Amino acid sequence: MELLVLFNTKGSCLSKIMGKLSVLFCLYILAVNSAVGVENSVKLPEVTFLTGEWPPFTSNSIEEYGVTTNIVSEACKRAGIKPIFKFVPWKRAFLNAKEGVNVATFPWYKTEERQKVLIYSDYHISESTNVVFYKKSDFPDDVQINELIDLIPYKVKIAGVRGYWYEKLFEKTLGDNFLIVDKSIQTWKLLEKGRVKFVVEALDVGLYESQKFVPEIANDIAYATYNSETFYHYLLFSPSHKDAKWVKPRLDQAFKSMHEDGTYQSYFRRKQ
């Protein structure tokens, strides 16, 4: 009888102990899950970047918004930033950054005019070769130029997009022979109709757009290379936006690491 009572007493104690351990274990699991939940719920700071239609580098209608936008996305990931990409006309993108409405815009070439009013990223975010497109049927002997100003003696109309780097140069040197439009599709339609003879554009962009916008004359399209240097593209930061002071250093460090570890180069190998 004493043994039975002792067993029952110990059994009861054991049950109580196991019950307490179960409660402690559950509390531990809840604590761990809560900690993970808090970590996963931490919101990254959002930054809106203005860009425009310039495929295959950046476009609202292609995969991952284009190679340059993809590179900026990777840099934001490394910098702990949640990017929001807003596609607007190029002139608006530039003015909004200049006036401090938005933190940054991309991609842009370096020009003296832009360097006076906006701040460039320390590292380039993409690159291109610039060429002049024309119809072979208009120039059966091909076009040979070393600089853009070599187009002046041709005395024909040249189409360009408002806000692009060459706008001031062409307005000054070409006068009435420079036809400025708001969208790149318009330059190709003008070339197709014979209203202009040249379209100045980055090689990758022109090859992409000619197939998309004027497929009927795509086989008649040729291009002339000028100035063998590579044109680099950058992020432009607003000097007056309050967030630019912390966004730029983070992204500069991210772009630096992408150039050093080969990530930047790998994006362009995939594009080719």
Q: Does the predicted model carry a pTM greater than 0.85?
A: no
Please write the tens of the pLDDT for every residue from 6-20: 434 445 544 554 455
The alpha carbon of 227 is separated from its chain's Cα centroid by a whole number of angstroms, namely 25
Higher per-residue confidence, 163 vs 11: 163
The owner of tokens 């910098």 is 79
270 pLDDT above the threshold of 80: no
- Say if residues 233 and 68 touch (Cβ distance below 8 Å): yes
CA distance 243 to 148: 38
Question: CA 137, 139, 141, 143 torsion: positive or negative?
Answer: negative
CA distance 233 to 114: 13
Please write the tens of the pLDDT for every residue from 184-201: 999 999 999 999 999 999
Q: Phi and psi of 152, rounded to 5°?
A: -60, -45
